[in-house]
Amino acid sequence: EPEVTQTPSHQVTQMGQEVILRCVPISNHLYFYWYRQILGQKVEFLVSFYNNEISEKSEIFDDQFSVERPDGSNFTLKIRSTKLEDSAMYFCARGVGASNQPQHFGDGTRLSIL
């Protein structure tokens, strides 16, 4: 049973369109993360979010990406103008805080850009 629920499980979008991926933590945690996994490749860190602010982001997380927690519960990743190379699995994870503590992943959203 994943500790975060992600919706939708599969999203198909036309290139250039905006897409919003959602993550709902089961318990009330402060640390959230987004990761990306292109088919057949390793999981890559995108961004971390703490106390309603971005804490760290990778070079992948450019200006077309944004994250927010609009209602204090759902945690969203928005891609403003999708490109073909954005096609991937996107995973949300939650953590408890300290750098030596685990991160627990959801089952992901498969994003397909046409």
Partner 1 sequence: GENVEQHPSTLSVQEGDSAVIKCTYSDSASNYFPWYKQELGKGPQLIIDIRSNVGEKKDQRIAVTLNKTAKHFSLHITETQPEDSAVYFCAARLTGGGADGLTFGKGTHLIIQP
Size of residue set near partner 1 by CB under 8 A: 32
DSSP 25-64: ESS--SEEEEEEE-TTS-EEEEEEEETTEEEEE-TT--TT
Binding mask 53-92 for partner 1 (x = CB under 8 A): --xx-x--------------------------------x-
* CA-closest candidate to residue 93, choices 35, 27, 41: 35
The one segment of 12-20, 62-70, 71-79, 106-114 that binds partner 1 by CB under 8 A: 106-114
Question: Is the Cβ of residue 31 or residue 65 nearer to partner 1 in the bound state?
Answer: 31
Decide: is 22 part of the binding site for partner 1 (CB under 8 A): no
